[in-house]
Amino acid sequence: MTVARQRIGRAAEEHVAGRLAEGGWRVVERNARTRYGELDIVAMDGATLVFIEVKAGRANAVYGPERPVHAVGPRKQLQVRRLATAFMAERRELPRYRQIRFDAVGVTFDHNGWVVDVEHIRAAF
């Protein structure tokens, strides 16, 4: 992955975490590491534990999906579910949750690096 792609990905995660906090969510952990990989954002939406996959893209990009959120396909969904299972198993001190949800968020940047669109799909998978 190129440095530019890493930078835009981090910027997207930062933007999403800020929006969640402004919306009253509690961000539990960002870039949550498990022995199998990393989850972008783990947050509480009320009493629901939410695992959030963030995808970034550029407006009018030639390559990739039309909208960044479309990059969360079946393979990525399976990976995030496995990471969520590992996250909960490795953090047994966390309380048990009645509801768990998987959201996908796509952030689109313009050529100047400004956010032009955010698409948040709740219960995406």
pLDDT, tens digit (0-9, with 9 covering 90-100), for 8-59: 999 999 999 999 999 999 999 999 999 999 999 999 999 999 999 999 999 9
87, 34 Cβ separation under 8 angstroms: yes
Place of tokens 């835009």: 8
Q: Which of 14, 7, 125, 13 is nearest to 74 (CA)?
A: 125
Q: Write the class of the CATH domain 3-121.
A: alpha beta
pLDDT category of residue 92 using cuts at 50, 70 and 90: confident
Question: Rounded distance, CA 97 to CA 113, Å?
Answer: 37
pLDDT score of 95 more than 80:
no
pLDDT score of 69 more than 90:
yes
pLDDT for 41: 98
Residue 28 CB contacts under 8 Å (≥ 6 apart), including other chains: 42, 43, 44, 49
pLDDT averaged over every residue in the chain: 93
- Over range 68-94, report the average pLDDT: 94
Question: Rounded distance, CA 81 to CA 3, Å?
Answer: 27
pLDDT category of residue 93 using cuts at 50, 70 and 90: confident
- Over range 89-111, report the average pLDDT: 89
pLDDT for 97: 79
pLDDT category of residue 1 using cuts at 50, 70 and 90: low
